[in-house]
């Protein structure tokens, strides 16, 4: 009788992602790509830059990764990136600019603002799912081992 191959169940905690995206359709498309790419994650969505900053400044929420749209209402991606990277308590959170833009000026501005990477959203859904899986693989290995690690009062684990 041939051996039974069982799918290995990961005991690792899911990747905590803050998706900052003003388009409901694009947010849903990104979430579908994460699912299709079998990315183990929990996603919170902020619809604009102001909402993103409010979520990030809450003591109870510190994502492992921010997927940041570049063109947002109220507070643009460039401003959100600048605020995060200039905040001592937030600056270590990896920021992946995830945009439909492929303009060299946008890419340069994101890296000049210390974004960790800039990804142009693939149009093809399979390619988008593979891209999300690659992002997960890269950033999952670079996060703190556990959110349960003791952190001094008034400080956030980053």
* Domains of the chain, earliest start first: 15-140 (3.40.50.2300)
Whether the predicted pLDDT of 3 surpasses 80: no
The pTM of the full predicted model, rounded to 2 decimals, is: 0.82
Taking only the tens place, the pLDDT of each residue in 12-37 is: 789 999 999 999 999 999 999 999 99
91-120 pLDDT, tens digit each = 999 999 999 999 999 999 999 999 999 999
Model pLDDT, residue 149: 38
Does pLDDT of 153 surpass 70? no
Q: What DSSP letter does each residue of 10-60 carry, written as one string?
A: P-SPPEEEEEE-S-HHHHHHHHHHHHHTT--EEEEEESSHHHHHHHHHSTT
Residue 58: pLDDT band (50, 70, 90) is: confident
């Amino acid at each position: 009788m041939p051996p039974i191959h069982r799918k290995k169940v990961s005991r690792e905690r899911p990747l905590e992602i803050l998706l900052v995206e003003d388009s409901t359709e694009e947010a849903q498309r990104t979430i579908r790509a994460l699912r299709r790419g079998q990315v183990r994650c929990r996603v919170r969505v902020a619809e604009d830059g102001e909402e993103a900053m409010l979520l990030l400044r809450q003591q109870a929420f510190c994502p492992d990764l921010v997927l940041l749209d570049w063109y947002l209402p109220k507070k643009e991606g460039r401003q959100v990136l600048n605020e995060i990277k200039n905040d001592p308590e937030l600056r270590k959170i990896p920021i992946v600019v995830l945009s439909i833009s492929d303009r060299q000026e946008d890419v340069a501005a994101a890296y000049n603002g210390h974004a960790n990477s800039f990804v142009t959203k693939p149009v093809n859904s399979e390619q988008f799912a593979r891209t999300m899986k690659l992002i997960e693989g890269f950033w999952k290995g670079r996060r703190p081992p556990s959110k349960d690690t003791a952190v001094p009062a008034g400080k956030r684990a980053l």
